[in-house]
Structure 1
Amino acid sequence: MPKSKYFAPTGGHPPQEQLLTDRAMFTEAYAVIPKGTMRDITTSFLPHWSATRLWVIARPMTGFAETFSHYIMEVAAGGGSDTPESDPEAEGVIFVVEGALTLTIDGEQHVMNAGGFAFLPAGCNWALRNHAGGAARFHWIRKAYEAAPGIDAPEPLVTSDSEVSPTEMPGTEGRWATTRFVDPTDMRHDMHVTVVTFLPGGVIPFLETHVMEHGLYVLEGKAVYRLNQDWVEVEAGDYMWLRAFCPQACYAGGPGPFRYLLYKDVNRQMPLRLSKR
């Protein structure tokens, strides 16, 4: 099987000779979790999952992510879960970065390879198994669904990165594009998970400052990212969390495309009482 173009951590442990210096940062406005921190010693486990471990790279907590959790899951051959989600109010997105998985939604099976995307609405009956050889790795992003009065809940969706044409940002000649798996104007959805692509030389030409919280996992390539007052080098396998209103921009220097998986919360009224978050 050819190697996936998406970076996926494999764990392991660094040698004693390795320098301690790294790019990990945790601030009030943003965090950077470099790929080198995703080792065997930082994995976790979940109930009702067999032959599975995970890296938790974001979770709701004071001073960090407020609206979502983000896992990188590693499922060995034969592993998986028939009851993966313990919270009936949680919606989820799965994005496969390595190997193959069988996703079952309400009895219907979907084989997902690298680049496979699935949206799983709250209360959805789903299961996930690795029936292929070798480990499978995927991102699992979870959010408590916020229903909107008079608007139906969204339906399950299974597609892939290769099946959705990227939308070019205006005036960029394709150097900056976003793969949107759901219609951004569909008010049923209160979160978007997309793949953003910058070609070499592509740039966010202003400091974005907005209400959406972000989680960004670098799938491919490298770039320099402006986070609040700092310029930070990032590469495939790194993760960034950006608090709402954190100023942000980036420059993709090459030599190949810079791509990342992006989470943001969208399409809902702003709560006026913080305790409701």
Structure 2
Amino acid sequence: MLTAERAVSNAGLDAVALKPAECDVHRALDVPLDIVAIDYEGREEMPDSDVLDALAAEKEVRLTTPVRADGFDPLGDDSLYDWLPAGVRQVLVAGHPAYLTDDETRRAVAPRLRAARERAPDSWVGTEGIERIALAAGGTQYELLSRTTRRDVRALRAAGFDGELALYAPTVLTDDEDEILDAVGAYVSRRRPVSRALPDDSPTDSSAEGRARDVLLKAARDYALIGSVADVRNRVDDLREVGVNLVAGYPARGVAEFTE
């Protein structure tokens, strides 16, 4: 039986994506991947600078920084730029409204993204909800895995885009359907095509039955990396063939799946 570390290595992932509200991001040191991407889940959930320092001494660290949020606003309150450890790089995003104030969500994204890219030219740019603006800003495009990823990447490459493409994907290294639904059922149910297809008020975890279960399991294959290590590796290899450069896996069953 493969150990978790061996499984993650064999799955072909390049990076681990962690949520500081869910785990101690210091555990990324135990994940056998060279890049760690840390999500932004509000200022109160940000890791301490000494933790980021320790990670940056061993790995490439990418911290998500919402360009509309106080502290990371390059056209306003930019106080957290000085707080960032020197070795920590950024993933520039518009920012999820759940983690922004009403005033922050009203701020224009495009000029702030441009200013932030000028300040941190090696940053990645998260494309969720701002795809055209992100492309215009340049840099590594950081996208969510979706049912149209292969088609979209092929189109970008055919149109002449030669920049780097990184992909974020919830990852579940098992083919057990109940485990998959408990890990990513709620996540995939929030994708618009999935929510439209689901019966009203249906559960989204392993208790789902009938049509709801079928829709969720199909969506899990579209929006996440699921299955055996070999299944995930084949999917990652296919994504690379169409032009994806880097794949960041979010351990949807907990970071222990990638470390223990």
Q: Kindly indicate whether structure 1 or structure 2 has the higher relative contact order, using CA contacts under 8 Å at least 6 residues apart.
A: 2
Structure with greater helix percent: 2
TM (norm. structure 1) is: 0.29
TM (norm. structure 2) is: 0.31
Structure with greater strand percent: 1
